[in-house]
Every structure is written in C-alpha cells, then in structure tokens.
Amino acid sequence: MVTLFGLVLLTLLVVTAVAIVITPNLFVAVMLMSIFSLIMAATFFILDAADVALTEAAIGAGMSTILFLGALALLAEREQRSRGRQWLPLAVVALTGFTLIYATFDKPRLGDPSAPVHQHVAPWYLEQTPVLMEMSNVVTAVLAGFRAYDTLGEVLVILTAGLGVMLILASGRPEPSRRGPAAVAGGLRHHLIPRVVGQLLIPFIVLFGLYLQFHGEFGPGGGFQAGAIIAVGIVLHALLEGEAAGRAILPTRVLVGLMAGGALLFCAVGIAGMLLGGNFLDYAVLAANPVAGQQLGIHLVEAGVGITVTGTLVAAFHAFADREPAA
Amino acid sequence: MYYAATAAILVTMALALARALLGPTVYDRVLAVNMFGTKTVLLVSIVAFLSGRPDFLDLALAYALINFVGVLAVLEFFQKKRHYERPR
Amino acid sequence: MIVDVLSFVMLALGGFFVFLGGLGALRLPDLYTRMHAASLTDSFGTILTLGGIMLQSCWSLATVKLLTILFFLMMTGPTASYALANAALLSVDDPEPHPPPATET
C-alpha cells in the first residue's frame, strides 16, 4: 500500500519535472521547483530515509527557493529563446538517458537482503555502531564517525561555495541614491500581521534548529539540517524587517567568521586527535574511554558542520538580496 | 482509515499541482504551493504514524515552519520585482 | 472503543475536507474564491486529521509533537493566506471598472 503511495508521488514528480522544462516563465519554474523538492522529500520519507528527507525539505524547499527568488528578482521573467534546434546536446542527453535506464534493468529488487550493497560494509556498520559508539542513529554515526573524511570534504566544499558567492556577488555597501522608496527596501515591514506572526515564530525556528542539531544522534537530524533551518530563521528576520536590519544583526564579518569557524572546528578536532596520540580524526583518544571520546568527537564535528552551513546560507542570501537589478 | 485519509491527501496534492500548472496569475501558483506544503505536512504526519515511527514527526514540524517562510519570501521578492519593473 | 470510533470519524471528515479544498482550488472561477476554499479547508482539515491521529496516540511524546505541529500550522496558515490575499489585492494595477452606483430618487 505504501508502495502505491510512492508510485503516485513519483508520477506527480514526472509531471512536475516535465512542466519545469517546458514552461518559458522562470517564476513559474521556481514555484514548480519548490513543489519538486517537496515531492522528493515525501518520496524519501516513504522510502524510510528520514535524514535525507529532512535535509531535502530544509534545503530544497526552504533555502533553495528563497535563493532562486532572490536571483530572479534581479532578472527578466521569461527565459531567452534558444537559437535554433540543438541536435548534438539532444543526442548526447538521449544516449546518456537510455544508457542509465538500461543499467537499471539489472538492479536488485528494492530492499533485497542479498543485494551487494548489504553484503560488505553495511552489516559491519550496523553491528559496530552500538558497540563502538552507543548511538541510535546509524546515519549520524557513519556520517560523522566512520566516514568523517567525507564530511570534512563536504564542509570545505560548502565553505568554498560560500566564499565564491561572496567574491562574485558581494557589492559592499549599496549606493543610497539608487535605492527605491522605503516601502520596497523595507521588506514586509508595512504589513502588520505577517510581521508580528513571523517575529513570534523566529525563536521557535531557531530553537527547533538547535534541537535537530543536538538530537541528531538519536533521531533524524544533524548538522546540515540544523544549519539550514537556523539559516531560514535568520532569513525570515531579514525578510520581515528589511535588508538593513538583517545585515545589522549578523554583519559580514560575523558571517565570514561563522563560515570559516565551523570548518576550523572540524579540522581542530582532527588535529586534536593527532596531538593526543591517535590518527587524524580519530575520536577514540579524545576522552577517557573510547565510547565517550567517539560521542564527544561526533558532537563537536556536527556542531562545526551546522555553523558552516548556517553562515554560508545566510551569506548567500544577503549577497543576492542586496543587489539592485541592472536597470 | 489511515489509508483513506492518505489517499485523499494524495489526490488533493495532485489537484494542487494542477492548479500550480494552470493558474493564470502568479498568486494562483503561490496559493497552490502553499496548499501543497500543508498537505505534505499532513501526509508525513499520517505516514509517520502509520509506519509506527513517531520520531519522524520532526520532519513534519520542520516543513510546517519552512512552508510559511517560503510563501513570505515569494511575496516579498515579487513585490520588490514589481517595484523595479514599474515604469518610473 | 469510543476513542477509536471518534478517531475514525475525524480522519474520515479530515480527508473529506482536504479533498474538498483541492477540488475548490481547481474548479472555482476566481483567485479570491480559490483562496477562500484553500485556506478554510486547510485549517479545518488539519485540525480534524491531526486530532484524529492524536486520539490514537494517547499522551505520549508523539502527541506533544502533533500538538506542536498543529499549533504552528494554525498560526502560520491563516497568516500566509492573509499575506497572499493582501499582496494580490494591492498588486492590481488596473482594477475592473465598477458599475456606477445606482442613484435612485
């Protein structure tokens, strides 16, 4: 029965994807991308992958939509007509698509216990996580413990992306002469009801983000989701009170400090492991007994991830929202 | 009865998607996206309950908060864009 | 037993109202009528559905989480509808010409 729900959601997904490609209006495409992210999150959830579903909902339907809209507010609404038919890209895409579809014919059945993916490392992780780390969320244990190099790479990629956005887009101080009247630059300041309700919600959003951050060891959660949700809370304040107020609560210096500080924390945990006698990113030497050391290491590393993600997303939002369109 | 409610929610999601595809004005589409979001929250709540994993309700809570911010962001940016496009 | 029946009825009604909202959003003629359908049935369907589920899980952590979800949806749903309707109303550049008021002596 749940499979049937999954099939219905996937059908809606295909319809949305086709509509995104066909429509010439970019604003419609952004709205449909938001729906696409929601359907993906629901599909992941039905497939029992709660951490991925939470990340997809927080980043795809939340921050991604806001960043797309920030970019779209500066541009024209209709996409440019393409000049002539492009046969070579169509042929390449069709060939790749057919190859991928052909490759799925040999896929093992969903959830088959004798599939190759369940034979090698996966049972080892499932058995060793309660022994080595005493943590109920195996996803967090694998992400931040067994495969911490991967996560270090991801954090550095996020930091690089944030720095890239700021280098390309950050305009310093917007010229006051080109600013429109205060009604536009003031965000939704003149609408009382959304402003009051939004301001009431911000502490709850930030609190929920912190809950996800620290609860990531026991249930769905972790650094990426928490960072995205706290960023959404901060962006809500900037949307409601205007860009100037948004910049005032977290100036650029602090944002850059957050972005770099999270990655620094991650690397510092690794180097502390080396200094205390183990390998790089070896958490077992961080505390008196190895299990407590693993848990401490994972907490610190996830905190680093959350800090970097928050800083990067808020910096990207400010970089887009501060610009005037090139009129 | 859980299955019937879930089926009703899925059908409503399809109808909201149809409105998002059809809607002549922007506000129709924003309405459809907002509706889609709250239906997703309900769907996740019911399925989390159905499959006996109540700790998955965190996802529904996250989504309920994010949907609101998404709608406000759309309205803010659309208002900003209309201001810049209006002939001065 | 009575709790089961009540929960059954609430879930059934919740599903029915949610479907009615979707139907209204698709078939009604104008933007404002669609907003009316969508926002009313959003609130009511959410209360009934989540209430039905809450009756099934008596006094556990899940009930507290469901209450929190209900609280946030009740706060943000009507606000989002208000913001949307306000934006739609204020953005009309050339409103439809109203017929002149009938002056009867």
pTM score of the predicted model: 0.88
For B60, which residue in chain C has the nearest alpha carbon?
Answer: C69
Interface A:B, Cβ pairs < 8 A: 148
Backbone dihedral region for residue A221 (phi beyond 0: left; psi -120 to 50: alpha; all else: beta): left
pLDDT digits 0-9 by tens, A136-179:
888 888 888 888 999 999 999 999 999 998 888 866 555 444 44
Q: Mark which residues 4-63 of B lie under 8 Å from C by CB.
A: 4-5, 7-9, 11-16, 18-19, 22, 25, 27-28, 30-32, 34-35, 38-39, 41-42, 45-46, 49, 54-55, 57-58, 60-61
Q: Which residues of C touch A198 (CB under 8 A)?
A: 79
Domain interval for residue B12 = 2-85
Chain B nearest CA to A297, separation (Å): 24
Report CB contact under 8 Å: A191, C86: yes
pLDDT category of residue C99 using cuts at 50, 70 and 90: low
* Interface probe, candidates B1, B9, B21, chain A, greatest A C-beta count within 10 A: B21
Binary contact (C73, B34; C-beta < 8 A):
no
Chains sharing 3 or more CB pairs under 8 A with chain B: A, C
**Contact pairs from chain A to chain C, CB under 8 Å:** 19
* CA–CA–CA angle A54, A57, A61 (5° rounding): 165
What secondary structure letter does DSSP report for A118? G
Closest CA to B19 of B2, B3, B8, B34: B34
Residues B55 and B44: their CA atoms lie apart, in Å, by 11
- ipTM of the shown complex: 0.91
pLDDT score recorded for residue A182: 38
- Distances in Å between the Cα of B73 and the Cα atoms of A127, A134, A143, A184 are 45, 41, 32, 13
Please tell me the predicted confidence (pLDDT) of residue A173.
Answer: 55
Establish if B65 touches chain C: CB-CB under 8 angstroms: yes
Query: Subunits touching C (CB < 8 Å, at least 3 pairs)?
Result: A, B
Contact C83 A194 (CB under 8 A): yes
pLDDT tens per residue across span A281-326: 888 888 888 888 888 889 999 999 999 999 999 999 988 887 766 5
Under the banding of pLDDT at 50, 70 and 90, the label for residue A184 is very low
Q: Helix or strand or coil: residue A178?
A: helix
- Judged against a pLDDT cut of 70, whether residue C98 lies above it is answered with no
Nearest residue on chain A to C79, judged by CA atoms? A194
CB distance C83–A201 less than 8 Å?
Answer: no
pLDDT (0 to 100) of residue A247: 86
Q: Would you call A239 an interface residue with chain B, using a CB distance cutoff of 8 Å?
A: yes
Among C68, C79, C89, the residue to mutate for chain A (most A Cβ within 10 A)? C79
B26 contacts in A (CB within 8 Å)? Answer: 27
A54: nearest Cα among A231, A228, A230 = A228
Buried b (16+ CB within 10 A) or exposed e, B38-58: bbbbbbbbbbbbbeeebbbbb
Contacts of residue B31 in chain C, CB cutoff 8 Å?
25, 31, 34-35, 38, 84
Q: Longest Cα pair distance anywhere in chain A, in angstroms?
A: 68
As a whole number, the mean pLDDT across chain A is 85
- Looking at the complex, does the CB of residue C21 fall below 8 Å from at least one CB of chain B? yes
pLDDT given for residue B84 in this prediction? 66
- Provide, rounded to the nearest whole percent, the portion of chain C with pLDDT above 90: 46
Nearest CA in chain C to B22: C26
A79 pLDDT above the threshold of 90: no
Eight-class DSSP state of A49: -
Q: How many helices (H) and strands (E) does chain B have?
A: 3, 0
For every one of its 88 residues, what pLDDT tens digit does chain B have, with 9 covering 90 and above? 788 888 999 999 999 999 999 888 888 999 999 999 999 999 999 988 877 777 788 888 889 888 899 888 888 887 777 766 655 4
Number of domains chain B contains: 1
